[in-house]
Amino acid sequence: MKQTLKSRLTKTGSPSGMPDAVGREGQRSRAAIAICLFSFCFLVLAFRLTSLGMSEPEAAGWGVAAQAALTAGRPDILDRRGEVLATDIKTPSVYINPRQIVDVDDAVERLTSVLPDLDTEKLRQDMETNRAFVFVQREITPRQRAMIHQLGIPGLGFLEENRRVYPSAETTSHLLGLVNVDHEGISGIEKYIDGTGLSALRSAGFTGDRDQTPVQLALDLRVQHALRQELSDAMEMFTAKAASGVVMDVNSGEIVAMVSLPDFDPYQQEQALEDDRLNRITSGVYELGSVFKTFTFAMLLDSGLGDLNSQFDATQPIRIGSFTISDFHGENRVLSVPEAYTKSSNIAAARMALAVGIDGHQEFLRRIGMFDRLRTELPESAAPLLPRNWARISTMTIAYGHGISVTPLQAVTAASAMVNGGFHIPPTFLPRSPLEARELSRAVIQPETSNQMRYLLRLNAEEGTGRRANVDGYRVGGKTGTAEKIVDGRYDSTRKLNTFMGAFPMDDPQYAFIITIDEPHGIAANGGGSTAGFNAVPTAGRVIARIAPMLGVTPSFDDRNISAGAILASF
């Protein structure tokens, strides 16, 4: 450009007179300098404009950053049918920027007209500080927010904060766990969700919006509620210390319901720390007593050392040193395997375990997962307590459930394996199909043994200690356990942990369950007994009667002849 200008000037310039020529030369160079200068200025302007036009508008100031941090969202948690178990609700909080407050007295007065609970002295002090941000009140209602907005006080603003809400409160509190003030999971499924990459997302700042995929659980809220209500009724009826129950799908390993009472209110987090309110299903280990005979019998049948027709001598108690193993329902005769099961004979169970031997016993218990800490999605878990020196006496007592402490979840997982054809499936709180479960499973007993166990469990509910759980139509099978608790190193016959463990429907098992009631008392209404048959069993019966229709278990009545006219009476 400069070049062309120069040449043009040269062409049009006058060829005459030196002084004239010199003057023109000076004008030309001055013009050139001016042109250069202006061109440069315009270029700079153009460049700056382009760069401004290209850049994204910058998020303004600290308020927005604080907002982003506070609204870090968590995914909703749904039950298997899509009911919301946990969600985020945005609640406004009001803050002030004291530097922008013009008239402190006026602002205090007007704010307290909407929020009368405010401490005026503190508010005044806050307004006179030189900070840029002070919360006035957190979690106000949308209505209050609108009213404060109407006041039009300068230097006042709102932040939206996420609050975690649990519509079903106590019913699901153990399972879902809790979040802390920073909205991070600290227990239960909430913590599991953080572990799956949410915390990484959060630190990268990607969790501001709430379009996160909800987390679906295997839990069925209706079943959970029914289980909890029956357990809490039972706790009250038998003035028990605690109660717990879990229902597991035997083919997929899904936990459909899990309740441990006393539970806690998710809005009163300090409750969750009380010892008494721990999740007994996953983090408590117990000597489960006679329910363990189920595993002893399965071990015997699976080892081939005995079959259903084998006989075991229970004529007299077994004495080892100062220790005596005797039967609660003492028959004092030789018992067949089914008899020993329905009479819950300690002596026969001890003899069975001895027949298999210590090594075989240990190997079997390890196979069905009794030796290892059972880990699930829940961060809470407990390792089983095993005898330090496994002697003959250990094998004999463990045969009937004393001397080993496991979590109820371990027991129910093993119980599933007893009835589902022999597959030990790791339990899960997330949805899983039977096919996926099959790939994760281990065959621990033969299908034939599993059939025999179904027969024994069903028999026990028909004519043994589990009679009171025999819900019409649902073919319940199960084994009772009445375990004396250890108090100060000795078994205390007045404190019992009563258990009923089983599955239904026994002709095609779909769900396994375990119900425990801690330190129940006898009541006159059912004869005053305090063994499991009087409390854990009828409770299980009531639970099954309620949940089986929800779970879609088809009822069938063996004694009901479908083509006969007699059934018409039952419509």
Residues carrying an active site annotation: 290
> In this structure, what token pair is assigned to residue 49?
């404009």
Residues 6 or more apart in contact with residue 249 via CB below 8 angstroms: 218, 255, 256, 510, 511
Rounded CA-CA distance 476/466 in Å is: 9
Give the nearest distance from C-beta 380 to other proteins in angstroms. Answer: 24
Residue among 222 and 495 whose Cβ is closer to other proteins: 222
Question: Which positions touch other proteins (CB under 8 A)?
Answer: 83-84, 87-90, 160, 165, 167-169, 171, 210, 221-222, 225-226, 229, 471-474, 545-546, 548-549, 554-555, 557, 562-563, 567-568, 570-571
Q: How far is the CB of 457 from other proteins (least distance, A)?
A: 19
Name the residue nearer to other proteins (CB basis): 113 or 150: 150
Q: Which of 286, 295, 281 is nearest to 231 (CA)?
A: 281
Nearer to other proteins, 18 or 568 (CB): 568
In this complex, which beta carbon is closest to other proteins, that of residue 17 or of residue 555?
Answer: 555
Q: Which is nearer to other proteins, 228 or 496 (CB)?
A: 228
DSSP, residue by residue, 538-549: HHHHHHHHHHHH
Distance CA 526, CA 523 (A): 6
Closest CB 453 distance from other proteins, rounded Å: 24
- Between CA 413 and CA 164, with CA 265 as vertex, the angle to 5 degrees is 95
How much helix, strand and coil, in percent to the nearest 5, is found in the chain?
45, 20, 35
Report in angstroms the alpha-carbon separations of 345 from 49, 79, 399, 453.
Answer: 92, 41, 10, 16
| Cβ closest to other proteins, residue 69 vs residue 84 | 84
Nearest CA to 399 out of 439, 344, 450 is that of 344
- Cα separation, 482 vs 292, in Å, equals 11
Per-residue DSSP letter, 468 = G
Tell me how far, at minimum, the Cβ of 291 lies from other proteins, in Å. 25
Q: Least distance (Å) from other proteins to the CB of residue 154?
A: 21
Minimum CB separation from other proteins for residue 138, in Å?
17
**What are the backbone angles phi and psi of residue 340, rounded to the nearest 5°?**
-60, -35
Asked if 138 contacts 115 with a C-beta cutoff of 8 angstroms, the reply is no
Nearer to other proteins, 167 or 528 (CB): 167
Element (H, E) at 157: strand 156-165
CB distance 352 to 344 below 8 Å: no
Q: Which is nearer to other proteins, 298 or 469 (CB)?
A: 469
State in angstroms the smallest separation of the CB of 483 from other proteins.
30
Residue type, 405: S
Name the helix (H) or strand (E) containing 51: helix 18-54
Cα-based distances in Å from 409 to 387, 429, 533, 542, 560: 20, 12, 21, 21, 36
Within 10 A of 179 (CB to CB), how many other CB atoms are there?
25
Distance CA 87, CA 193 (A): 13
Q: How far apart are CA 76 and CA 214, in angstroms?
A: 5
Rounded least distance, CB 155 to other proteins, Å: 22
